[in-house]
Amino acid sequence: FEIGDQIVSGGHEGTVERIETRATLIKTYDGFFNDTATTDIYTDSVVVNTAFETRRSEYDIGIGCNDDWDTARKLMVDVCADVEGVCSDPAPETIPIELGDSANVIRLRWWTKSDRASQIHTFGEVLQSVYKALDAEGIDMPYPTQVHLFHDQTEEVDGDRAKQREGWPAGKSEVPKPARTARQASE
């Protein structure tokens, strides 16, 4: 790396401002300086985000299990390609990656300029544009939900406890008394 490169090293990320014998000065994206010992940088791994002109971004998007994969994938690629800052070569692409519990997951991948500002601003525009387009097309983007069922297991209608259903305490064929009967007997 050299001065002006954007790097990640030792948990620090930012733009290299100065390289000295004993320290490398990194300006973080939020405007702080980090004085990192040069020996730490040369012994830790360093990711140089700006080593190449472009870099790839990706985001996983879940669509409804009954929605058409081909329609959703084409829409994602077309909309992504129209976002300012997305490179045309290589073109955006989608890859089906999961048949999930609550959604079919499609990974959208695209390329932008490698500097952090270009990458993060384009990323946000892609997400917003794709969301709006899928929503306008009526393609569901479900999120995981859970349903919890609670019931009083002391009612006569609960049946024979020896024929245990999931979630019932084991019993010896006794039929539980209704809660109101049990309360009256204890009074």
Query: For 43-95, how does the pLDDT look when each residue is reduced to its tens digit (9 = 90+)?
Result: 778 888 888 899 999 999 999 989 999 999 999 999 999 999 999 999 999 99
pTM of the predicted protein model: 0.67
**Where do the domains of the chain lie, and which CATH numbers do they carry?**
6-48 (2.30.30.60), 54-136 (3.30.70.100), 150-180 (no CATH)
- Residue 90 has a pLDDT of 95
Helix intervals (H) in the chain: 38-43, 69-82, 116-136, 179-186
Number of C-beta neighbours around residue 19 at 10 A: 15
